């Protein structure tokens, strides 16, 4: 079996949002499910200047090889504090993290793998 593909992930988060640790675990689960190795750089956003510079749209934000697979409608960045992100979930619901299947598909796409 060939080695898994590898992508670079910048994981932007704010400690003011309680889902930041769960979001990182979700990323690792998605990468494992997708069969893609990830080099993860967790980056805590602590100032509004960092939020603007990094294109932080809320915590957590996943940048897969520099691209946000879940582009947000609205402001180009969120404030560093009290900036929890909302993700569309199955059934029209909204949640603090993407659904595992959506993140798996995004990781596969970033690695150039066909969706299985």
| Residue-averaged pLDDT of the chain | 87
| pLDDT confidence of residue 2 | 45
Q: Return d(Cα 86, Cα 63) in angstroms, integer.
A: 16
Q: Return d(Cα 17, Cα 97) in angstroms, integer.
A: 11
Q: Return d(Cα 52, Cα 54) in angstroms, integer.
A: 6
The ranges assigned to domains in the chain are 5-111
Q: Is the pTM of this model over 0.95?
A: no
| pLDDT confidence of residue 5 | 82
Q: What is the pLDDT of residues 34-53, one digit of tens each?
A: 999 999 999 999 998 888 88
List beta partners, residue 11: 42, 62
Question: What's domain 5-111's architecture?
Answer: 3-Layer(aba) Sandwich (3.40)
Rounded average pLDDT over 19-34: 96
């Amino acid at each position: 079996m060939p080695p898994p593909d590898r992508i670079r992930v910048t994981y932007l988060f704010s400690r003011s949002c309680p889902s930041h640790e769960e979001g990182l675990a979700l990323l690792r689960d998605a990468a494992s499910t997708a069969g893609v190795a990830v080099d993860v750089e967790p980056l805590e956003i602590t100032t509004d200047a960092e939020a603007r510079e990094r294109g932080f749209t809320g915590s957590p934000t996943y940048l897969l090889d520099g691209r946000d697979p879940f582009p947000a409608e609205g402001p180009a960045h969120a404030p560093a504090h009290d900036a929890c992100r909302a993700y569309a979930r199955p059934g029209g619901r909204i949640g603090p993290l993407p659904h595992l299947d959506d993140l798996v598909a995004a990781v596969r796409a970033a690695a150039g793998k066909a969706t299985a």
